Chains A and B, each alone.
Chain A
Amino acid sequence: MSVPGVTTTITGIDSLEVLHQNLQIAQNFTPMTEAEMNALRERCKPAAADGRYELYKLSLKFDNPEARLAHGFPLDTQQSEVQDMLGATENTGHPFPEKKF
């Protein structure tokens, strides 16, 4: 909510407990200062920098060629991970690949 340009921060809430916690944060919210933001970035760095909790963003293991094309992401057929991904779609009845490389 302190990030400039963000109008609404969407938060996942599956219980009243989480709702209460989030309302306490959001009500009377005071934006963090730049120094506070930097302190938070530094604190998050060890957990966030190598993406270990976000493998779905980093690894093609969670991806498929059709989704990558639909989102305009590169599909470099020289990459071994991409070759594995393409191989996994063969003989599956899956429509991909129709596109010629």
Chain B
Amino acid sequence: MASKFEWNRRSFIKGAAVLSAAPLVAGGSMAQQKPDSSQQVPAGEVPKKTLGRTGVQVSAMGLGGYHLGSAETDQAAMEIVAKAFDHGVRFFDNAWEYHDGLSEERLGKALRGKRDQAFVMTKVCTHGRDNKVAMRMLEESLRRLQTDHLDLLANSRSGLR
């Protein structure tokens, strides 16, 4: 029992994800897809959904930007994005502050030649500082992401108008 409470949040969520996929879906299509850590992923793509009322189709699974910066090497991050893309992942999250820009730089590099097929979001987090800060962050994000536009910009109290 004690070891159960030593889980960190991530391994707990991993556990929860495995739980949702395997034992609770007896006989369902997921029952045959018991997640494991092997290199084998069945051919196919993650499903697409319409984002709110925008009419824009995005993948039901999005790739988080923060952990792209945690990947051991640039090369590892490139491989993650490439393989995710091959399996239909089209939603790519990021933020100006993740890993001092490394997350955005890696995503920008990894999406070269694929930018028009990807839905890219990032975030500014100016916490009430003036608009110039938000605009500077936005310009920096665009440069790192090697793009001239974002599909979604999340904005935490920037005062941007």
* A contact set with B: CB distance below 8 Å: 1-2, 7-30, 32, 36, 39-40, 43-44, 47, 52-54, 66-67, 69-71
Query: How distant is the Cα of A54 from the Cα of B5 in the complex, in angstroms?
Result: 13
Q: Which residue in B25, B47, B79 is a CB contact (below 8 Å) of A36?
A: B25
B46 to chain A, nearest CB (A): 4
B44 pairs with A13, CB closer than 8 A? no
A7 pairs with B7, CB closer than 8 A? no
A99 to chain B, nearest CB (A): 11
Known: A16-B39, A25-B17, A25-B33. A7 touches B58 (CB 8 A): yes
Query: How distant is the Cα of A9 from the Cα of B28 in the complex, in angstroms?
Result: 21
Q: Which residue in A20, A52, A54 is a CB contact (below 8 Å) of B40?
A: A20
A20 pairs with B37, CB closer than 8 A? yes
Q: Which residues of A contact B101 (CB under 8 A)?
A: none
B63 pairs with A11, CB closer than 8 A? yes
Q: Which residues of A contact B16 (CB under 8 A)?
A: 40, 44
> Considering the complex, which residues of chain B in the window 35-73 have a beta carbon less than 8 Å from any beta carbon of chain A?
35-42, 44-47, 49-52, 58-64, 66-68, 70-72
Q: Which residues of A contact B50 (CB under 8 A)?
A: 7
Q: Which residues of B contact A27 (CB under 8 A)?
A: 33, 41-42, 44-47, 87-88
B interface residues, how many (CB within 8 angstroms): 62
B128 pairs with A70, CB closer than 8 A? yes
Query: How distant is the Cα of A43 from the Cα of B21 in the complex, in angstroms?
Result: 14
Known: A13-B80, A30-B30, A47-B12. A40 touches B19 (CB 8 A): yes
A70 pairs with B51, CB closer than 8 A? no
B5 to chain A, nearest CB (A): 7
B119 to chain A, nearest CB (A): 8
24 contacts between A and B (CB under 8 A): A1-B60, A7-B49, A7-B51, A8-B60, A8-B91, A9-B62, A10-B64, A10-B91, A13-B84, A14-B70, A20-B38, A20-B40, A20-B41, A25-B21, A27-B45, A27-B87, A28-B33, A30-B29, A30-B30, A32-B20, A36-B25, A67-B127, A70-B157, A71-B127
